[in-house]
Amino acid sequence: GAGVSQSPSNKVTEKGKDVELRCDPISGHTALYWYRQRLGQGLEFLIYFQGNSAPDKSGLPSDRFSAERTGESVSTLTIQRTQQEDSAVYLCASSSSQVMKTQYFGPGTRLLVL
């Protein structure tokens, strides 16, 4: 694929509902990152996957947030019992070589919790 893709591009949900966000990384990229970006703010790290290693979940803000990745392909970020403060853009990035570690970002999923 040409780049990182994310779906849906926009999601409106009601408080208390669960949402699932999807990320398709660049083919062959072993590392995958999820970030949250609140309006007018910088990127906040959520979780990192590297190959088959255990993910680094140190950035997840609460146990309502979880993520999975199948091998070196698609990842899903799940937010359970959404709250209004979860409203943000959720960005996914992937990277390849150990040396460069340059991240390439997807367009993001804009989540609005009413």
Q: Residues interacting with other proteins, by CB under 8 A?
A: 4, 31, 33, 35, 41-45, 48, 50, 56, 58-59, 91, 93, 100-108
Based on CB atoms, which residue is closest to other proteins, 26 or 80? 26
- Residue of 87, 66, 69, 88 lying closest to 77 (CA atoms): 66
Q: Which residues contact 6 (CB under 8 A, 6 or more apart)?
A: 21, 22, 23, 24, 90, 91, 92, 106, 107, 108, 109
**Is the C-alpha dihedral spanning 71, 76, 80, 86 positive or negative?**
positive
CB of 31 to other proteins, least distance (A): 7
Based on CB atoms, which residue is closest to other proteins, 58 or 70? 58
Based on CB atoms, which residue is closest to other proteins, 63 or 100? 100
CB of 73 to other proteins, least distance (A): 19
